[in-house]
């Protein structure tokens, strides 16, 4: 039985992971589950999956979680806060850790899991965007593999068929759905509900807004540059509205390999959980005759300036990626709370990127310091843009 810990169990990736795990009761057992505030949902997940440990990120909710589990007669132990998250990430009984917390908040537990030698199933792209070199060092030190859950990177992993060297690869092609506003020209008055109404995927609110601005693709280009050791000029983005081709690799001989499937995160999650074996994910089969044509178009950097800002950050070096990510998190949170216009998200990020040029981080502490300083500036910019 393979022990699996899920950091961010109450989210969209957490739910898809637990769905796949439930299909293989003889193969996986749940070792720890974590959530930030959704204490009732976490208690319900504990009743269903019986982990050894449940962690609520917000320490104020620890006693509520304890009471709920006691009422349910659960044997699950309870912890909270950063210490609890770090404990969950390093559980001795866990073979695999699914990093599914949203945002840079997932960085410390993700690093801890990698360092502890857990097989790391990485959904938390912000962690690798902020601390690519440190995370890859931690994975090497821990000695267990990192497998990408993000569907594009998972597709590339599959197309590379585990090749250790990327000699012979000409370029990576990341596909983008284009999000809910692919054909929209006027962005005035965009509401959080409209921005979160993704045509192909059901995801958490932050990544949904990132998909609407195309920042998600920008973060994914940075993620791909770390994961596959590729320079920016060898990572292309193509808009593919059907989200059937999840990404492609072009080789020097002109061959292009693509990974296809219905847009369902259970597919990349099952690939990672079972690797190197293939296990059932519960996803539907692709019906090619009903699919008809697949379409492709170039991304529009004028209507979607966030993608260009991510390129700018990648070119400027690792510290700029932290600034990009932090200011984006602040701007998206403000937009979701009704404190910032959709069109001002790129303005806030651009302003903070232009004003900060810190040196490349050499430690986790320096990553966190750059992140905190960028958040402060972004908060000030949000107030000015209101």
Q: Is 223 in the site for Mg ion (CB under 5 A)?
A: no
Interaction residues for ligand NAD, span 339-378 (CB under 6 A): none
Q: Least Å distance between CB 169 and ligand NAD?
A: 23
Residue among 225, 213, 195 at smallest CA distance from 314: 225
Distance in Å, CB of 85 to ligand NAD, minimum:
6
Q: How far is the CB of 100 from ligand NAD (least distance, A)?
A: 5
Which residue, 59 or 354, is less far from ligand NAD as judged by CB? 59
Each residue 152-181 as x (binds Mg ion by CB under 5 A) or -, in order, gives x-----------------------------
Min separation Cβ 103 and Mg ion, Å: 15
Does 150 help bind ligand NAD (rule: CB under 6 A)?
yes
Query: Which residue stretch of 146-154, 225-233, 346-354, 367-375 sits at the interface with Mg ion (rule: CB under 5 A)?
Result: 146-154
Quick check: bond before 276 cis, omega within 30? yes
9 binds ligand NAD (CB under 6 A): yes
CA distance 331 to 383: 10
CB-based contact 218:307 (threshold 8 Å)? yes
Given the DSSP bridges, would you call strands 77-80 and 96-99 parallel, antiparallel or unpaired? unpaired
Run of H or E including 210 = helix 205-213
If one asks whether residue 11 binds ligand NAD (CB under 6 A), the answer comes out as: yes
CA angle 291, 295, 296 (to 5 degrees): 150
- If binding is defined by CB under 6 A, does position 12 make contact with ligand NAD? yes
Site for ligand NAD in 50-89 (CB under 6 A): 57
The answer to whether residue 356 forms part of the interface with Mg ion (CB under 5 A) is no
Does residue 150 touch Mg ion according to CB under 5 A? yes
Distance of CA 265 to the CA centre of its chain: 11
For residue 236, count CB atoms less than 10 angstroms from its CB and return exposed for 0-12, middle for 13-18, buried for 19 or more. Answer: middle
Q: Which stretch in 149-157, 191-199, 248-256, 337-345 sits in contact with Mg ion by CB under 5 A? A: 149-157
β-bridge pairing 77-80 and 53-56: parallel
> Which residue sits closest to ligand NAD, CB atoms considered?
11
Report how far Cα 324 is from the mean position of its chain's Cα atoms.
15
Task: Indicate whether 125 belongs to the interface with ligand NAD (CB under 6 A).
Answer: yes
Q: Closest CB to ligand NAD among 7 and 340?
A: 7
Minimal distance in Å, beta carbon 155 to Mg ion? 9
Q: Show Cβ contacts of residue 288 under 8 Å, excluding neighbours closer than 6 positions.
A: none
Note whether 264 binds Mg ion by CB under 5 A. Answer: no
The secondary element (H helix, E strand) that includes residue 336 is helix 318-336
**Residues contacting residue 193 through CB under 8 Å, at least 6 positions apart:** none
| Minimum distance from residue 286 beta carbon to ligand NAD (Å) | 18
The residue (of 126 and 152) whose beta carbon lies closer to Mg ion is 152
**By C-beta, is 16 or 350 nearer to ligand NAD?**
16
If the CB atoms of residues 12 and 80 are measured against Mg ion, the closer one turns out to be 12
The full DSSP string for 267-330 is HHHHHHHHTTS-----PPPP-HHHH-----B---TTT-HHHHHHHHHHHH-HHHHHHHHHHHHH
Count the neighbouring beta carbons within 10 Å of the beta carbon of residue 343: 16
CB 5 within 8 A of CB 32: yes
Sole window of 97-105, 273-281, 306-314, 344-352 interacting with ligand NAD (rule: CB under 6 A): 97-105
Is residue 211 within the footprint of ligand NAD (CB under 6 A)?
no
Give the pair of three-digit tokens for residue 310.
Answer: 């991510």
10 in contact with ligand NAD (CB under 6 A): yes
| Residues binding ligand NAD (CB under 6 A) | 8-14, 35-36, 38, 57, 100-102, 105, 123-126, 150, 201, 203-204, 206-207, 265
| Residues binding Mg ion (CB under 5 A) | 150-152
């Amino acid at each position: 039985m393979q022990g699996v810990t899920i950091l961010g169990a109450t989210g969209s990736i957490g739910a898809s992971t637990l769905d796949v795990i439930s299909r293989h009761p003889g193969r996986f057992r749940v070792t720890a589950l974590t959530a930030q505030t959704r204490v009732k949902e976490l208690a319900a997940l504990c009743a269903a999956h019986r982990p050894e440990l449940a962690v609520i990120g917000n320490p104020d909710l620890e006693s509520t979680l304890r009471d709920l589990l006691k009422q349910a007669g659960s044997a699950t132990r309870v912890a909270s806060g950063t210490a609890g998250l770090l404990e969950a990430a390093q559980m001795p009984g866990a073979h695999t850790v699914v990093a599914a917390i949203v945002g840079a908040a997932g960085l410390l537990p993700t690093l801890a899991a990698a360092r502890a030698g857990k097989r790391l199933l990485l959904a938390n792209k912000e962690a690798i965007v902020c601390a690519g070199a440190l995370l890859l060092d931690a994975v090497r030190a821990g000695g267990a593999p990192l497998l990408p859950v993000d569907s594009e990177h998972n597709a590339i992993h599959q197309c590379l068929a585990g090749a250790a060297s990327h000699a012979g690869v000409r370029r990576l092609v990341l596909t983008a759905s284009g999000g809910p506003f692919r054909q929209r020209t006027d962005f005035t008055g965009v509401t959080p509900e409209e921005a979160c109404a993704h045509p192909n995927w059901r995801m958490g609110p932050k990544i949904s807004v990132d998909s609407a601005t195309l920042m998600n693709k920008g973060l994914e280009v940075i993620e791909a540059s770390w994961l596959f050791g590729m320079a920016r000029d060898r990572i292309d983005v193509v808009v593919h509205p059907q989200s059937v081709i999840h990404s492609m690799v072009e080789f020097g001989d002109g061959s292009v390999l693509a990974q296809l499937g219905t847009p369902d995160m259970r597919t990349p999650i099952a690939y990672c959980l079972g690797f190197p074996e293939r296990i059932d994910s519960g996803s539907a089969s692709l019906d090619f005759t009903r699919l008809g044509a697949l379409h492709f178009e170039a991304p529009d950097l004028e209507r979607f300036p966030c993608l260009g800002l991510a390129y700018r950050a990648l070119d400027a070096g690792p510290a700029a990626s932290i600034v990009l990510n932090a200011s984006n998190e602040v701007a998206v949170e403000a937009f979701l709370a009704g404190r910032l216009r959709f069109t001002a998200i790129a303005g806030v990020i651009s302003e903070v990127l232009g004003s900060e040029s810190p040196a490349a981080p050499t430690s986790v502490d320096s990553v966190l310091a750059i992140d905190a300083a960028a958040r402060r500036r972004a908060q000030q910019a949000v107030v000015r843009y209101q």
